[in-house]
Amino acid sequence: MTDWTRVVDAHGAVGRVPLLLDRVEREEAPEAWEELWDRLCLHGETVSAASFAALPRLAALAPTSAQALELAGAIVRGTLRHPDAEALLASCSNEVARLRQLVDQRLRTRPADYNRLFGDLLALAGHHHWSASLGDFDDDFYAVSCPRCEAEVTIAVGDYGCYSAMRDWDRGDVERRTLRPAPAEELRDPGRWMHATAGRDGQHRLAEGIRHVFGCAECPACGTVFSIAEAHTAANLPPVLETYVAAVHDRPAGRRRTGRARLLVAVNGSGYAASSDCCGPW
């Protein structure tokens, strides 16, 4: 049971959100929905603890309320903007699964706002960085780093062309290289699932764009061919939380000095990594 007296909304207030939810559960109240958007997903992107606390009630309304379904999707798309969002989402996993099912059902009807709903589906499936960046491939650009030389490479997918390039602010995209889209039968998840969903719903431009983004690009600087999706994912990992653990190691017998090594443990969304560096004389 949520203690709403302790849950802060986007304005730093408590107690207002449950009253608004009570009202929209009783009746269709446009002004109440407008205030809920303002408090739970300010400007369509700023979320708070109250946003995730409201998800179970929004999920209950979603089968019969387009407003509830849209607001719930927008909240989940804001996951990367809140430091505790993943933990908060874990507490309502059943509701998230239900919302994902409802959005998928809605996509099958090929609505006019298909691309927005597709982004909601990606977020509800846990692919938050793709939800935040995947467009409609009319005019899409992705900035990634070459995994070999670390040059910043611009990836373009749209009507103007599908290429990798170096971006020059005076000359535009220069040294263009044609992208190498992945064959549909060779796609791996999540690209395979994304492509299949778009294809199922007759969204051919979206499906072709996904093939390009999950294909390969050539770095114009060094010629390395790399996976665009892997480079994009690496560029959008959560910030690394660094924890330092000091450990004392004696040098083997015969060495003149002893010293200490510092073990660096990096913890982020991709897992754990460890390295050491000298923090004393050897």
Read off φ and ψ for residue 273, nearest 5 degrees.
Answer: -145, 150
Reported confidence tier of residue 78, pLDDT bands at 50, 70, 90:
very high
Question: Is the per-residue pLDDT at 31 higher than 80?
Answer: yes
Question: Is the per-residue pLDDT at 273 higher than 60?
Answer: no
Given a contact cutoff of 8 angstroms between Cβ atoms, the answer to whether 82 and 64 are in contact is no
CA 134, distance to chain mean position in Å, is 10
More confident residue, 203 or 80: 203
DSSP track, 223-281: --EEEHHHHHHHHTSPPPEEEEEEEEEPPPTT-S--EEEEEEEEEETTEEEEEEEE-S-
pLDDT tens column, 189-237: 999 999 999 999 999 999 999 999 999 999 999 999 999 999 999 988 7
Of 167-171, 238-242, 254-258, the poorest mean pLDDT is in 254-258
Reported confidence tier of residue 264, pLDDT bands at 50, 70, 90:
very low
pLDDT computed for residue 255 by the predictor: 37
**What type of residue sits at position 183?**
P
**Tokens 């050897």, located at residue:** 282
pLDDT computed for residue 235 by the predictor: 85
DSSP track, 28-59: --HHHHHHHHHHHSBTTTB--HHHHHTHHHHH
Question: Is the per-residue pLDDT at 28 higher than 70?
Answer: yes
Of 85-99, 122-136, 171-185, 226-240, the poorest mean pLDDT is in 226-240
Reported confidence tier of residue 238, pLDDT bands at 50, 70, 90:
low
d(CA 165, CA 97): 39
Q: Tell whether pTM > 0.75.
A: yes
Of 34-38, 228-232, 251-255, the poorest mean pLDDT is in 251-255
pLDDT computed for residue 80 by the predictor: 87
